[in-house]
Amino acid sequence: MQLTNINGIVRKYRHIFLSPHFNDVVYSCGGTLGVQVSSGLHPLVITVFGGPPPANTPLSPFAQQVHGQWGADPVKGASGEVTSTQLMRQLRNNWAS
């Protein structure tokens, strides 16, 4: 889901995690999220600085080099959004960016 304003956060979310970037909450609080979800809670993870770049935006030469070293496509790059989304779905968690 994508939040367009603060009113999108309703009272049903007792636990809200703010993630500066994709995967930050997943890697730092994944265990806590898992416990909350397995206990029947519905935490909300909000990614603050994330989203796809504008279409046809090329990576810089440095970014191409780094993505190549990571084994990602040096032109398309790697998407943390995909990993976060997949993990949130596995946890049956709510995710917003």
Backbone CA torsion sign across 2, 41, 18, 49: negative
**Residue 22's pLDDT is what?**
80
pLDDT, tens only, 11-21: 778 888 998 88
Reported as type and span, the H/E element at residue 96 is strand 94-96
Find the mean pLDDT for residues 79-94. Answer: 58
What's the whole-model pTM score?
A: 0.57
Higher model confidence: residue 32 or residue 90?
32
